[in-house]
Structure 1
Amino acid sequence: MNEGKSLRARRLMSEAGRSLIVPMDHGISVGATTGLRDIAATVGQVSDGGANGVVLHKGLVPTVQGSLRQGTALIVHMSASTSLGAHINRKVAVCTVAEAVRLGADAVSLHINAGTETEPEQIKDSALIAEECALWGVPLLAMVYVRSSPEDEHNPVKVAHAARMAAELGADLVKCHYTGDPDTFSRVVEGCPVPILIAGGAAHGDVRKLFTTVDEALQAGAAGVSMGRNIFESPDVTAMTSHLGKLIHNRWSVDRVYDAYQDHLAAGTPLAAV
């Protein structure tokens, strides 16, 4: 990793090598969903909660630039598809690294749907973007999912393969699904030479389960999370971000962080700045 890339990469991680990234690139794929209608407000909330980074498409950067607090990295997303058409799993490049740099990005991200008919195109785009990242000194977060079938999405062998593929294409960070237990996920981590973040998936409302999943992934060697809907669709976006940070960065126990989060919601008071 060159000096420029190393410097920018440090903005994405704590000194202990952990990260809490909040992707908010969903507007292209599914529209302005709950939590994303006022994107500037939501960015401000997760930034106030101590997020290490946010993921956005290029067109929203001017809208949110006043909401990003010092310490929250800007990650510009490079690929897209929509649920309006017949090819939601076909991610295509919609930005260049040069554009992202001009917008002030600390890093860029891309999405690969492995196991789909258009996997070869996505691999090719990813390799070209990784080359651009090396030239510009910009870290690359690869969000890679197994989409060959719903049953395969959390398959440990296939998730491990997809994560390794992303690293071999040049990713500096990899986001993938949690496989369901620490033992199998530890093998995913062992096979990937770059830090791994787990995806949050659809918001499910079971906060204790969410905290438990994150804790298990960390025990298995994950570097943190790249989690969107379970954060920006939560009742208190800043508090959810902050309490996940206590779990990830401060390594609070699941019971401690869950109780603290519930106490905060019950009190109905604003979260102190972190």
Structure 2
Amino acid sequence: MRISTKARMNRLFTNGGCLDVAIDHGVCNEPSFLVGLEDMAGVVNALIAARPDAIQMAYGQADLLQSRPEQDKPALVMRIDMGNPYNAQRHRVMWSMLQNRDEPIIGALEMDAACVVVNLFMLPDEPELFRQCVDNISRVRADCHKYGMPLMIEPLVMLPNDMRGGYQVDGDVEKIVPLVRLASEMGADIIKADPTDDPDDFHRVVEAARVPVLVRGGGKEDLRAVLEKSARLMRQGAKGMVYGRNIYQHANPRAVVAALIAIIHDGVDGEAAWETYNNG
């Protein structure tokens, strides 16, 4: 690993763990994702005060974080692709593309990001979408190696649209593990993976990755259940989480961050994390 890559990784992972709060949902063109993100400046201010390890944003909003003078503010993880699999209605043509095709990571370098993130979609009957994602990653991987930028790949196995409607995760470990392995083979420095239906199976995802694995949050759930599941996933070898709606759509995001940080950095269980939340 290049020195510049390692230096950026060190900005993300505090004592080996990372809580990355994702607020890059504006690229999804899905109205329900924007609830709680109407005032982006206010959201960023609140998250800086809450002190997660990183905040995940797209180029157009990243200045709200990177223009801040604090030396100990969260690291920037930059989303550099976008696509249309997030809507409740399946589109006639499904696509995923880089936000800057000619120089994919130039915006991340400009904004001094610690990492870039790109999707690897696996949707039923959408081989062209999958091919586009592979092409995106291939282009980005070359630039990341050239400039020492860590690459986070987000492999997403999704259910057929008609099963539950819209953007829904398939938690089948037998489908997640091969896609995570593919992300590893393509040169991921970090993998952002869906939780398995049974959290105790998640060690198989970690073993397939061979790089740090951060658990993806997905849709908003009951917080106590989220904390319990998060603690179980950490015990299976996860290095942290990338959570969005379970934080920014919550009434007390700062307390949620504190509870998740306790799980990641202090090794507490779900019950102790729930107590941390209630004390926040």
Q: 2:242 aligns with which of 226, 230, 233?
A: 226
Aligned to 1:74: 76
Any conservation in 1 of the 2:180–2:191 contact (CA below 8 Å)?
Answer: yes
Higher mean C-alpha displacement, 110-119 vs 216-225: 110-119
Aligned to 1:243: 259
Q: How many residues align?
A: 262
Q: 1:91 aligns with which of 86, 90, 96?
A: 96
Q: How is 1:1-274 mapped onto 2 (pairs within 5 angstroms)?
A: 1-15=1-15, 17-29=16-28, 30-31=30-31, 33-67=34-68, 69=70, 70-82=72-84, 83=87, 86=91, 90-95=95-100, 96-115=104-123, 116-117=126-127, 118-147=129-158, 149=160, 153-204=170-221, 206-264=222-280
Aligned amino acid, residue 26 of structure 1: H
What CA distance in whole angstroms lies between the structure 1 residues aligned with 2:40 and 2:169?
32
The CA deviation at 1:109 is 0.8
Q: C-alpha offsets along residues 79-134 of structure 1, whole Å, 9 cap, x if unaligned? A: 10244982685221113212210122121111121243310111011111011101
Pairwise CA RMSD of aligned residues? 2.1
Aligned amino acid, residue 24 of structure 2: D
What CA distance in whole angstroms lies between the structure 2 residues aligned with 1:127 and 1:188?
22
The CA deviation at 1:152 is 7.1
SS at match of 2:184: helix
SS at match of 1:56: strand
The CA deviation at 1:164 is 1.2
Task: State percent identity of aligned pairs.
Answer: 24
The CA deviation at 1:11 is 0.6
Residues 53/88 of structure 1: CA separation in 2 closer, same or farther (3 Å cut): farther
SS at match of 2:250: coil
Give every structure 1 segment of 4 or more consecutive aligned residues whose post-TM-superposition deviation is greater than 6 Å.
none
TM-score by length of 2: 0.87
Residues 64/123 of structure 1: CA separation in 2 closer, same or farther (3 Å cut): same
Any conservation in 2 of the 1:20–1:52 contact (CA below 8 Å)?
Answer: yes
Q: C-alpha offsets along residues 205-229 of structure 1, whole Å, 9 cap, x if unaligned? A: x111000110110011111101100
What CA distance in whole angstroms lies between the structure 2 residues aligned with 1:233 and 1:110?
23
SS at match of 1:11: helix
Any conservation in 2 of the 1:152–1:158 contact (CA below 8 Å)?
Answer: no
What CA distance in whole angstroms lies between the structure 2 residues aligned with 1:74 and 1:104?
8
Aligned to 1:270: none
The CA deviation at 1:183 is 3.1
Any conservation in 2 of the 1:97–1:132 contact (CA below 8 Å)?
Answer: yes
Q: C-alpha offsets along residues 32-87 of structure 1, whole Å, 9 cap, x if unaligned? A: 71221111221222222221111111111223434585241111111102449826
